[in-house]
Structure 1
Amino acid sequence: MPQFLVAIHHPDDFVPASESPAARRDISALNDEMIAAGIRVFVGGLTRAADAKSIRVPDGRPLVTDGPYLETKEHVGGFWVLDLASLEEAVAWGRKAAIACRTPVEVRAFR
């Protein structure tokens, strides 16, 4: 079965402790629903983008710098990997994720 990434986007200044009790409850319920449906492969939250390390190879040697690879106002804050039959099904779960997380979500298929 194809796998899909459902990625949650947070603003740079997002603090996980700032999530409301209602949002935490809704995210937990969504996780329970995914488990019950047998589609959840993996779920994970990420540390702040500011804590990332970026590695580039400008002259054949890896160069490590502090911070995210892209300078943007939003970054991936967490994600699910789901086993689903179709992109349409993945988008349906992405809608549920956007509602539960109260934040933009991106859905992409793995190759």
Structure 2
Amino acid sequence: MTKYLISFPSSAMVLPAGDLPAVAEAAHTVMQEAKDAGVWVFGGGIDENIRPVMVDGAGTVIEGTYPQTRQIEGGYAVLELPSREAALEWAAKMAAACRCAQEVRAFMDDPAS
């Protein structure tokens, strides 16, 4: 089985503020469905109020992040699935719930994880 990252940036979720509770409920329904199906590994949204930091090998903490990852925000789910087709099906469910397209990426196989 392969682990898939299904995600979207915050900017993709454009909806009236009053719709947010219904979207959250729909998203939680899909998450519960994934848990009930035994494919849920992890998920959540990035807390955009907490600034990222980088930590080097000596433990030094530096404010900021890599330039190419400054915009990592939004919602993420990791599912363990038998196929890419299954990942696309789950992404479609999440897209419908969140009212925005989802990006799908596969993690490389690592027998130690």
TM-score relative to the length of structure 1: 0.72
**What does residue 46 of structure 1 align with?**
46
Determine if the alignment matches structure 1 residue 37 to structure 2 residue 37.
yes
Q: Deviations over 1:82-101 (max 9, x none)?
A: 01001111011011111111
SS at 1:81 equivalent:
strand
* Residue 93 of structure 2, aligned match among 76, 93, 96: 96
SS at 2:105 equivalent:
strand
- The question of whether the paired residues in 1 share the 8 Å contact of 2:4 and 2:105 is answered with yes
Q: How many residue pairs end up in the alignment?
A: 101
* Distance in 2 separating the partners of 1:105 and 1:80: 10
Q: Which runs of 5+ in 1 are unaligned?
A: 57-61
Partner amino acid, structure 2, of 1:87:
R
* Distance in 2 separating the partners of 1:42 and 1:22: 22
Pair 49,69 (structure 1): closer, same or farther in 2 beyond 3 Å: farther
* Residue 64 of structure 2, aligned match among 59, 66, 71: 66
Please tell me the root mean square deviation across aligned C-alpha atoms, in Å: 2.9
Q: Deviations over 1:59-108 (max 9, x none)?
A: xxx89443673388x64412111010011110110111111111231101
Q: Which runs of 5+ in 2 are unaligned?
A: 109-113
Where do 4+ consecutive residues of structure 1 move more than 2 Å? 49-56, 62-72
**What does residue 59 of structure 1 align with?**
none
SS at 2:75 equivalent:
strand
How big is the shift at 1:52?
Answer: 2.6
- The question of whether the paired residues in 1 share the 8 Å contact of 2:23 and 2:98 is answered with yes
**What does residue 105 of structure 2 align with?**
108
**What does residue 83 of structure 1 align with?**
80
Q: Deviations over 1:20-57 (max 9, x none)?
A: 2210110111011101111001112102288233679x
1:3-18 correspondence runs (5 A):
3-11=3-11, 18=17
- The question of whether the paired residues in 1 share the 8 Å contact of 2:48 and 2:73 is answered with no
